[in-house]
A and B are shown apart, each in its own frame.
Chain A
Amino acid sequence: MTEHALLVRSLGKRFGSFQAVDDVSFEVERGEIFGYLGANGAGKSTTIRMLCGLLRPSSGRAEVAGHDIAVSPDRVKASIGYMSQKFSLYLDLTVEQNLEFFGGLHGLGGKALGTRIDALLEAVDLRGQRAAVTGALPGGLRQRLALASSLVHEPRIVFLDEPTAGVDPASRRTFWALIRGLAQRGTTVFVTTHYMDEAEYCARIGLMVAGRLVALDTPAALKRDLVPGRIMAVEGPGLGAATAALRAEPGVVAVEPFGAGLHVRVEASVEGAAIVARVLASAGIEPSRLEEVEPTLEDVFLAAADAGAEAKIRAAQQAETLA
């Protein structure tokens, strides 16, 4: 038994010759909201599937709620809730029937299950849709029902795989309020997302790039460590032409496309705005916006992805020189 809700050690998954998850290690504390971030194909779902006992790891080990996933997968399954990336409740059943079904799968029944379903419907605000056919619900409500059905047995840990994908912003906010409430009551939440704004709600974040966990910390610490220096947000017409010139300028660390414009990262000691303005002027570009901004997780992600790519290239070069 450990103190951690999740303990992951050198976990890896290989599909044929493809390493989908590569030597990942981390811990998650009880009641923590742990965000797992990464682009499509980074290995987020694969990690979750291993932790839920759906996939056998190719290497490494993990303990979930104190149970080794390889030794006692059934105990693991009894103590977790899992909301898969693809909506997989039954569209032809009603909201209540879906909840009854998942309660039954966990061995619940009778009055206890009835009370639990009442409480869940209340918590996710679906009381009015109790008898509605699931297929007729809009996306936001379906996600809430999926969350409720993963919580019916009061698991200690829930794994939510991109729970808000394809849902409108208002529904996403409602959903995150639910997640925060869960964590406050002591449930550990492991959530993947590729919405960077959502990641700000997480206590800690793990960044996945191409199967590797390249960074792991609180959002604030990640920004501080991964995005040193200051960020100049630039917008205006014809910026693409100046990108190379900006990169070549001493004091400029990185230039990344960001939204409609660019984020130019400069060393903390230089006069960033002045440098950028001068380079743009010499290229004949008049920016519509040029100001210093706080780094966002998007910047963190871009920096980490770069670092991950560099690390891969370095590793490959090393392998080559060794060979």
Chain B
Amino acid sequence: MKSLRRILAIAHKEVLHVLRDPRSLYLALGMPVVLLVLFGFGVSFDMDHLPVALVDEDRTASSRRFAAHVFGSGELERVDAGGVTASDAVRLFEQRRAVGVLVIPAGFGASLARGRTAAVQLLLDGVDPNTATQTLGKADAVVRAAGAMLTSPGRGLPRLPVDVRVRTWFNPAGRSALYLIPGLTAYVLALASVLLTSLTLAREWERGSMQQLFATPVGRMEIILGKLLPYLGLGTTAVLLVLTAGAWVFDVPMRGDALALTACSTLFLLGMLGQGLLVSIVAKNQMVATQMATITSMLPSMLLSGFLFPIENMPAPLQVISNVVPARYFIHALRGIMLRGNGFAEVARDLVALGLFASVVFALGVARFPRTLA
């Protein structure tokens, strides 16, 4: 009873601190949404509005239907090239009016009519390789689809020459927000949780109020629970906020088990809070805590988690290290639950890994949390 009172007193004080300092609220709730929108729109702009000019040298009904299909999907944006020829492509690139030129050569319609493979040509501006790769990937998919529409089923698929295998960095699936949101959620949660908890604990050390707490009957578990519980609540709110924003703005689905998602994010958050606790014990002042918290949360959850770079493409040593990065399991579980409709059975491995990480950091933190000053 008294213990509960003490924990609540500390938690209540923590809530007051947070409410008094809008920066921590921004860090926990504002930053995730801002980053989500920046990343989400930033990348999807690149993907959805790639300006491509059309040069139709065939001028048949087939070529016009083909072009209509290619640009009708909305993935490539048709720029008005007003009768350009293939040799005008360079000028379009230089003026940055197009990133690609699609050439339908004369004889396209005739080849199709005879049931032969019809060729189209795609000229790409290679100055920005990233855009070029993305355009190629898009065009490949769109041209295949358009080609299929033109071919009657009995004659078999035309083998179109735009046959490329592209690994797109951010989203092999072609829709950026879908793939980004789980990673972004993990990244932002990790950063905000570790930073906020390590700072609030370091502040008590730095200001000498921890000493004041030690002169009361309050125990270290009570201090730790009281200080961290509010941030578990804040982190959970941030998860809900990001997922809601993702669903609204980018139509990210939520196909799987919401309970499994809650379990994953709670365990992940607990691990991050424990990491913040450890950082504060080592750092004991706000400046060092800020640096340690940022480095230990941001770098692994961005670079070693599969958020930006697929884990299977990493050098072997980094792949090994990524095994102890909790964000890796959280992102994997989130993608599975949200996009593939997974439930507890499929994310069991991730849950165990997240639970293990949380238990280890908390055990270490509690053991190393000083009870006296020396």
Contacts and interface: CB of A to CB of B under 8 A. Distances in A.
Interface string A107-140: 1110000000000000000000000000000000
Given A49-B373, A56-B372, A90-B13, A106 B212 contact: no
B120 interface: no
Contacts of B215: 52-54, 77, 80, 82, 84
A93 B21 CA distance: 11
A105 B10 contact: yes
A209 interface: no
B6 A101 contact: no
A86 interface: yes
A88 B211 contact: yes
A80 B215 CA distance: 8
Nearest to B219: A74
Tell me what chain B mostly uses at the interface: helix, strand, loop, or mixed. helix
A100 B211 contact: no
Contacts of A231: none
Contacts of B2: 107
B372 A106 contact: no
Interface string A74-105: 10011010101010111011000100111111
Given A93-B16, A101-B9, A104-B6, A84 B212 contact: yes
B44 to A, nearest CB: 41
B6 A105 contact: yes
A15 interface: yes
Given A54-B373, A55-B372, A97-B16, A105 B213 contact: yes
A21 to B, nearest CB: 12
Interface string B128-171: 00000000000000000000000000000000000000000000
Report the contact-size class of chain B (Cβ under 8 Å from the partner). Answer: 20 to 34
A97 B211 contact: no
Contacts, number: 84
Contacts of A52: 215
Q: What band does the interface of chain A fall in when counting residues whose beta carbon is under 8 Å from B?
A: 20 to 34
A77 B208 CA distance: 17
A235 to B, nearest CB: 41
Contact of A88 (B20, B207, B218): B207
B12 interface: yes
B209 A88 contact: yes
A82 B214 CA distance: 10
Contacts of A80: 215
A89 B209 contact: yes
B8 interface: yes
B216 interface: yes
Contact of B374 (A56, A82, A84, A86): A56
A53 B13 contact: no
Contact of A101 (B3, B13, B214): B13
Interface in A24-61: 49, 52-56
Interface string B16-29: 11001100000000
Contacts of A54: 211, 214-215, 372-373
Contact of A86 (B1, B20, B208, B216): B208
17 contacts: A15-B374, A53-B214, A80-B215, A82-B215, A88-B208, A88-B209, A88-B211, A90-B13, A92-B16, A92-B17, A97-B16, A101-B9, A105-B6, A106-B6, A107-B1, A107-B6, A108-B5
Interface of B: 1-3, 5-6, 8-10, 12-13, 16-17, 20-21, 207-209, 211-218, 372-374
Interface of A: 15, 49, 52-56, 74, 77-78, 80, 82, 84, 86, 88-90, 92-93, 97, 100-109
Given A55-B372, A97-B13, 7 more contacts: A15-B374, A49-B211, A52-B215, A53-B215, A78-B217, A101-B12, A107-B1
